[in-house]
Amino acid sequence: MRAGDAVVGRLGGDELALLLPGCTAETAARRARELLETVRASPLPRTDGDLLPLSISVGLAHAPLHADSVRELYAAADAALYRAKRAGRDRVEVAVSPAPRPTDGLPRQRSVP
């Protein structure tokens, strides 16, 4: 995905997380769509010569747009992933921004990952 600072980690089962520090939400969405197209265009050759089509479902979330903490970021990406799966798989879904929270006039503290 990106040499140097991208972090890929297995969360469990067939779920992976990809962290792109400093990436804008727009760039992350574009990169997710490019990854989807690359997987679609790369079938797995089987020993009998047949090609097995591959697909992925992507849930994308961006901090601070969709979350203020690592836990919220994971939850937002996970919810987007399951929307992609329920919508037929083989697609990218972007997290929904949370509703604004009531404020007492004080600046919100942001968690640092």
Residues with a known catalytic role = 14
45/51 Cα distance (integer angstroms): 5
CA-to-CA distance for 107 and 21, rounded, in angstroms?
Answer: 24
Structure tokens at 20: 């792109």
- Compute the distance between CA of residue 25 and CA of residue 100 in angstroms, rounded to an integer: 19
